[in-house]
Amino acid sequence: MLTITKRLEFDAGHRIPDHKSKCRNLHGHRYALEITLQGEPIDSPGASDNGMLMDFSDVKQIAMEHLVDIWDHAFLVYEGDSLMQLLLSGLPDHKTVVVPQIPTVENLAIIAYQILAPRYRQRFGAKLQLAKIRLYETPTSWADYTASN
């Protein structure tokens, strides 16, 4: 099995509304997103991406367009966190992203996978698949979400 991994970083705010301790407070993280793709090297002599699963710049471009540019410097708020949504809606031009689950690193890794998997599939077909998303919330805390197949 052959995989490649591209790492991107972004900053975002969140809170975990029911948390027993400090994470119920508004705070932010420098998240690191590692995108792992599985497939076979392209065999197309003379092509720019010959010998690659996918050009790392294309891996990055897709993730930036569909996820990282949207989440970077945003506040990620759970759709059930109505108090927080009310507060954020009062801030003019605030960058808020409503997510369908509580924004733990586990749930954000799953959401990132669900957003990105079809994008890579659309551009590069069935020969390539998004095998894993690893999302670091802090340098010592992360979640992995792996394709089930």
Ligand X SMILES: Nc1nc2c(c(=O)[nH]1)N=C([C@H](O)[C@H](O)COP(=O)(O)OP(=O)(O)OP(=O)(O)O)CN2
Note if 19 is an active site residue: no
Counting residues that bind ligand X (by CB under 6 A) gives 9
* Half-sphere exposure of residue 120: CA atoms within 13 angstroms, side-chain side: 30
For ligand X, the closer of residues 92 and 139 by Cβ is: 139
- Which one, 82 or 141, has the nearer CB to ligand X? 141
Residue from 19, 73, 79, 94 carrying the catalytic annotation: 73
CA 40, CA 89: separation in Å to the nearest integer? Answer: 46
Q: Between 49 and 106, whose beta carbon lies closer to ligand X?
A: 106
Residue 46 contacts residue 69 (beta carbons within 8 Å): no
Q: Which two tokens stand for residue 34?
A: 């590692």
137 scored as a contact of ligand X (CB under 6 A): yes
Binder to ligand X among 106, 110, 121, 129 (CB under 6 A)? 106
Question: Helices marked H in the chain — which ranges?
Answer: 56-63, 69-71, 82-89, 105-124
Annotated catalytic residue, options 23, 34, 66, 106? 23
Rounded to the nearest whole angstrom, what is the least distance from the CB of residue 19 to ligand X in the complex? Answer: 6
Measure Cα distances from 148 to 38, 110, 131 in Å: 13, 12, 9
Residue 79 burial (CB < 10 Å; 0-12/13-18/19+)?
A: exposed
Residue 19 labelled as part of a binding site? no
By CB under 6 A, tell whether 62 contacts ligand X: no
Known binding-site positions for Zn(2+): 14, 27, 29
Catalytic site positions: 23, 73, 137
Residues in contact with ligand X by CB under 6 A are 16, 23, 104-106, 137-138, 140-141
